Amino acid sequence: MSAVHVVVRYLRWLSVDARTFNVGTYRRQDTPQPTADFFDTNNKEGERMRRAAAEAAVKDMLKWFSQEKGTVAILDATNSTQARRRWIAQTIGQYGIEVMFVESKCDDEDLIMSNIMEVKTTSPDYRGQDPELAAKDFRNRIRNYEKIYETITETDYTYVKLINVGTQVVINCIQDYLQSRIVYFLMNLHIKPRSIWLSRHGESMFNLAGKIGGDADLSPRGFRYSEALPEICRQAGIVPEQNITVWTSTMKRTIQTAQHLPYNKLQWKALDELDSGTCDGLTYEEIEEQFPEDFRARDDDKYNYRYRGGESYRDLVIRLEPIIMEMERQENVMVVTHQAVIRCIYAYFMNVPQDRSPWMEIPLHTVIKLTPKAYGTKEERFKANIPAVSTFRPKYSSAKHQEADSPDVNELSVKMNV
Ligand SMILES: O=P(O)(O)OC[C@H]1O[C@@](CO)(OP(=O)(O)O)[C@@H](O)[C@@H]1O
């Protein structure tokens, strides 16, 4: 995905109100599919229209800050001359809004070409066009940008300059915590193709009994899943030659599940299940009996509810932030962890809002493969032919776990999130 989309997704996942104002979207209202000469600075009409699009985007952005009290806006545009940056700094700065410029500079021909093929030929500017011709036109557009391009060196501006996708990074006047988080996040991004495989541990003895938390062993069916996992991973596209690391939590059920995977393994405390505090070891029915108010309060606002002496989903997201940062840095990773943890990781990659994420179905005995693409994340699910209980609990229900449907053979489903 483009860095802009990923940064917004990351900030929103961390509950920072962030939004993109893409000047191209405004320009496309009048000029949906321009050719490269539209971006030639000698094209006066093109210049006028591009300027108008930038002004409209900035106007809406300022409105968003003042009326909706937004926190981080990304003005997604080329902004590649000193004059344009001065205009932005003055127009926005006068309202007391801090401005940070992000320049991504690339002179590596291979990187440029792979970026054009991956991102630009799938952009709305080239929708329905021959990818070869689109790539050629975009190359010409870059030549037009180059004629007036002035790399950022203004010492009085806050900026981060990423050279050849973070091979080298120049930072200037970074002023606060949020800016430094964004810089650090940007430094960790890469554009190499990769996938992330997620699996819950196999069915545990606690899952069978309907109890939450604990550190139980796998059930006999859970152990069967651990034996089947190398083959399911192979079907899901993990090949032994791939340099893949398997991450587990420090709990027995995830370590047992990963035991037959012939890859390097790493245990993370941060991947342990949501801490259910005084409710640890109870069934949902027992929680409803012993802590009726808590049971209701949790379902009223599951994302924010914190177990007595334990955690909320919001707490879990903060605990998982280093995991996400490391996942962005890594290439292929397989993660064997828990229901609540997978919900949070999945919500990050699939952009799921906080009111929905704690209620998502993440079944046992299923590998979820996520592949980030230029404009979204592709999701594939590989369901093992090994029965298990369903630990999904609908809102306000404390009913006992039911057997989940299990396919006759391993099953695959595919979905694309944009
Ligand atoms: O937030 P809810 O829906 O209760 O799901 C989290 C629960 O899932 C469970 C199973 O019910 O996780 P897991 O077996 O994946 O470790 C519990 O241990 C955990 O408390």
User: What pLDDT is stored for residue 404 in this prediction?
Assistant: 82
Together in a domain, 171 and 201:
no
Query: At residue 1, does pLDDT exceed 70?
Result: no
Q: How many domains does the chain have?
A: 2
Catalytic residue among 40, 137, 272, 273: 273
Q: Among the atoms of ligand 1, which is closest to the Cα of residue 339?
A: 15
Q: Is the CB of 391 under 6 A from ligand 1?
A: yes
- The answer to whether residue 275 is catalytic is no
Together in a domain, 115 and 224:
no
Looking at residue 359, what DSSP letter applies?
Answer: G
**Domain end marker among 188, 218, 234:** 188
Triad 160, 161, 164: Cα angle to 5° = 140
Query: Coil, helix or strand for 90?
Result: helix
Together in a domain, 181 and 200:
no
Torsion over CA: 72, 74, 79, 83 (sign): negative
User: What pLDDT is stored for residue 31 in this prediction?
Assistant: 86
Angle between helices 3-13 and 339-350 (to 10 degrees): 140
Q: Which ipTM value was assigned to this complex?
A: 0.86
Together in a domain, 135 and 92:
yes
Q: Is the CB of 276 under 6 A from ligand 1?
A: yes
Note the pLDDT tens digit of each residue in 249-279.
999 999 999 999 999 999 999 999 999 999 9
Q: Among the atoms of ligand 1, which is closest to the Cα of residue 214?
A: 18
For residues 352, 357, 360, 366, the Cα torsion angle rounded to the nearest 10 degrees is: 70
Note the pLDDT tens digit of each residue in 224-248.
999 999 999 999 999 877 789 999 9
Together in a domain, 142 and 97:
yes
Together in a domain, 211 and 131:
no
Looking at residue 408, what DSSP letter applies?
Answer: S
**Domain end marker among 158, 188, 218:** 188
Together in a domain, 171 and 231:
no
Q: 73: which strand partners?
A: 19
Of 272, 294, 296, 339, the one to substitute when testing ligand 1's pocket (max ligand atoms within 8 A of C-beta) is 339
User: What pLDDT is stored for residue 162 in this prediction?
Assistant: 95
Q: Is the CB of 343 under 6 A from ligand 1?
A: no
Cβ atoms 154, 82 nearer than 8 A = yes
For every residue of 238-273, DSSP letters joined together read: --TTS--EEEE-SSHHHHHHHTT--SEEEE-GGGS-
What is the average per-residue pLDDT within 181-189? 95
User: What CATH number is given to the structural domain containing 183?
Assistant: 3.40.50.300
Distance 292 CA to ligand 1 centre (A): 18
- The answer to whether residue 190 is catalytic is no
What is the average per-residue pLDDT within 102-109? 92
Give the Å distances, CA to CA, from 283 to 216, 218, 246, 363, 393: 14, 17, 30, 18, 11
Together in a domain, 402 and 277:
yes
Together in a domain, 205 and 169:
no
Structural tokens at position 239 = 């090949």
Together in a domain, 160 and 307:
no
Q: Is the CB of 257 under 6 A from ligand 1?
A: no
Phi, psi values for residue 338, rounded to 5°: -115, 170
- Per the structure, the complete domain to which residue 67 belongs is given by 3-188
Q: Among the atoms of ligand 1, which is closest to the Cα of residue 342?
A: 15
**Domain end marker among 154, 170, 188:** 188
User: What CATH number is given to the structural domain containing 321?
Assistant: 3.40.50.1240
Together in a domain, 180 and 224:
no
Structural tokens at position 265 = 């393994």
Q: How far apart are CA 212 and CA 281, in angstroms?
A: 5
Q: pLDDT averaged over the chain?
A: 93
Q: 103: which strand partners?
A: 161
Note the pLDDT tens digit of each residue in 107-152.
988 888 888 887 777 788 888 899 889 989 999 999 999 999 999 9
Among 55, 71, 53, 72, which Cα is nearest to 4's? Answer: 72
Looking at residue 14, what DSSP letter applies?
Answer: T
Structural tokens at position 350 = 């699939």
Together in a domain, 75 and 122:
yes
- The answer to whether residue 76 is catalytic is yes
Structural tokens at position 278 = 């005084």
